[in-house]
A and B are shown apart, each in its own frame.
Chain A
Amino acid sequence: PPSADWKGDSDANPHFKSLGKLSAPINRKIEPYGAQFLAYARRKRHGRTFSEDDRI
C-alpha cells in the first residue's frame, strides 16, 4: 500500500510519480514481413503515431 506521505509529481497530477528512465535500447532489424510490419512501415513512413493510425 502507498505510504501515508506518498505524493505525486505535482498538484496537477497528484496520483503519478515519475521515478526513473528507461535504459538505452539497442538497434535491431525488424523483418519486413507480415501484416503488422506493413502497418508499422506505413506509420513510420507517414510519421503517424498509433492513435493517429487508429483513427484512420
Chain B
Amino acid sequence: MSDDSNGVPTPGSPEQYAIGISFGNSYSSIAHISGEGKVEVIANEEGDRQIPSILSYIDGEEYHGTQAKSQLVRNSKNTVAYFRDYIGKEYKSIDPTPCHASAHPIESNGVIAFSVQDTESATANDVTVPEIAIRHLRRLKNSATDFSGKAVTAAVVAVPTDANEEQKTAITKAAANIQVEVLQYIPEPIAALLAYDSRSTEPATDKIVLVADFGGNRSDAAIIASRGGMYSILATAHDYELGGAQLDQILIDHFAKEFEKKHKSDPRKNERSLAKLKLEAEAVKKALSLSSSATFSVESLADGVDFRSTINRSRYEISAFKVFGRFTRLVEEVVKKAELDVLDVDEVILSGGTSHTPKIAKNIQAIFPESTQVLAPATTPSSLNPSELSARGAALQASLIQEFEKEDIEQSTHEMVTVTPHITKAIGYQVTGQSSDSFTVIVPPDTAVPARRTTVIDGLEGDVLIRVCDAERDIKVTKPEPTAKPEANGAKDSDDEDSDDEDDEPEETREKVWKVKQALAEFVFKGLKKGSKVEVTANVDVDIALNLSARHLSGKGGVRGEIKAAEVTENGSA
C-alpha cells in the first residue's frame, strides 16, 4: 500500500502485479500466481481464504471479513453484507431479503445506499453501494499487497454469467478508485473450468462440462462446450433463492425447535438470538460437510440461557432433503436448456462453498452416468477446493494477460473475434470391418471453426475404405425384456421385494449413439498389412470447407482431399 504512484501501470513492467478476485455476495477471495508459478489463494491477516464480503463499523473503526461478520450479532445495524448483487443496479430492481439481519439497503439520491454510523459521530451516513464496494475491494487489495509485498495494480474479477455491463462498469470504477485496473471480467463457471484445466499438462480435450456454482444466497449453473481448450457457453440457469442460506435455515429451525421444547421460548423471535443462531448454524453446516456429527453451542442464546446440542449428518440430510433436491433440479434444468442429455456431459465441476456438502455432490453424481466425472470433495478425492475455484481461475487468466496492452485485450475480446461459426454436427468416420452403424468422432459438434483434429485408426488390414461422415447424437433407449413371469416371481423369494420389482421393471438402459446423417468423403487404402494404422486429419476452415487427409503411418504416401464449403452459408440466425 506504500506506493500508489504507479496508478497507470506500464505493461510488462516489473511493477505490474495482477491478482484474481472472486467477489461474491457472501464471500470473496483473492489469488495470485506465486513465485514458483503456482496458483495460490491468498489468506488475509486473519488467516481466512474465504473472506466474508462484510463491512462493519464501531466508533468509526472499520471491520472487514470474519471480524465484521461476528458484528452481525451486536452491531447489525452498522454492518453491511450481501451487497455485491446491488452494485450497478437500481433500487427498485433489487431483492433486499438477504439484508434483513444487517443494514438495510435504502434509496439515497437515486442510488442504493446503506445508512450506517461509519464515523465517530453518532449520526448515521448514507454510504452508497459503490462506496461500500470500494472499501471492500481496498481491504482485499491490501491483504494481497501485504501478503506479497508488492502493490496490486491490476485484477481479473470473476462475476456471474448474468452480470450486465452496468454492474461491470460499476466494479471497474470502484477498482479504479483504489488504483486497481480491472483487466477483464471472467464468468465464474469459466474460471472454475480454467482452474481445473490448468492442472493437467496434457493437451486440452474435447468435452462437455457442466459447472454448478452453489453459493450462499444464489446458485448458478452453466454448460460449457470445451473444444481444444476453447470454451463456448451453451446454456446457463440461475436460482436466486437457493444457496447455503436455505441449508442454514434448516439447521436454524432444527435447533430453535429443540430450544423451544426445552425452554419454552423461540430464539427466532428475538433478533439477536436469531443472529447467533444463524452464525452457529453456518458453522455446524460446515462441520457436517467434514464429519458425521457436529456440535451446536451458543452462549446465552435466548433469555440468558446457554444452549448446546449435537446433530449427526444423516439427521441433517433427512431434514434438508427437499432443499438438496433443488440443487439437483438446477443441474437438470441447465442440461435441458442446452438441449442435451445427462449422457452428453463428460465432466461436472461443483463450485462454490455449498458444494462441500457431500450429499449434494452424491445426489448430482447419481443423475449422471458412471462415466461422468463429478469434481467435488465428496465424489473425487483429488478435486480442488470448490470455494477457491473462481479466484484461482481469475488469477490464471490475470497471469495470462497481465503483459498485454489494454488495447490488445479489448481487440481480442471484441465480438469480431469471439463470435464465430460452430459446426452443428459431429464429423467422424466409419471404416471397413465395423458394423454399419458404427461411427467414431473426429470433430465433435459445437466446435468453433477453424478447427483441426487428428485421429489414428488402428488395426487395419487389406483393402480398406474409410468413409468420413457427419452425424447427430441420438439417445438409444433399450427396454429390458420382461424377465420374470408373474408366477415365477411369486415362487421366488418375492414377498419383500415385490413392490420394488414393479418400480424397477420399466428401468431402461439409455445410451448415446451417433446417427449418421450423410457421407462426406471416402478414402481407400489397398493392401494394408495386418495391424496397420491410418491417421486421419480433419481441418474445418472458417467458411466450413473441410480439408481431409489420411496417412498410412509407417507406410508410404498420404491421401488428401478437400470438400468445398456449401453454397453461401448465410446464417445469421444464431
**Residue ranges of A at the interface with B (Cβ–Cβ < 8 Å):** 1-2, 6, 8-9, 13, 15-38, 40-45, 49-50
Contact = CB atoms under 8 A, between A and B. Distances in A.
Interface in B462-496: 462-465, 469-470
Interface stretch (B43-51, B142-150, B230-238): B230-238
Given A15-B525, A23-B470, A25-B422, 13 more contacts: A2-B464, A16-B521, A16-B548, A16-B559, A18-B521, A21-B566, A22-B540, A30-B230, A31-B187, A32-B417, A32-B418, A35-B229, A38-B400
A33 B194 contact: yes
Contacts of A36: 204, 228-230
Interface of B: 184, 186-187, 190-191, 194, 197, 204, 224, 228-233, 393, 397, 400-401, 411-413, 415, 417-425, 427, 432-433, 446, 448-450, 452, 462-465, 469-470, 517-525, 539-541, 544-546, 548, 559-566, 569, 571-574
B521 A19 contact: yes
Given A21-B564, A31-B187, A26 B421 contact: yes
B573 A31 contact: no
B521 A24 contact: no
B231 A15 contact: no
A37 B230 contact: yes
A27 B571 contact: yes
A26 to B, nearest CB: 4
A28 to B, nearest CB: 5
Contacts of A18: 520-521, 561-563
A31 B190 contact: yes
B423 A25 contact: yes
A15 B528 CA distance: 14
A31 B214 CA distance: 22
26 contacts: A1-B464, A2-B432, A16-B521, A16-B561, A17-B522, A18-B520, A19-B518, A19-B520, A21-B546, A21-B566, A22-B470, A22-B540, A24-B544, A25-B569, A26-B424, A27-B420, A27-B421, A27-B574, A28-B419, A28-B574, A29-B232, A29-B415, A31-B232, A32-B418, A34-B400, A44-B417
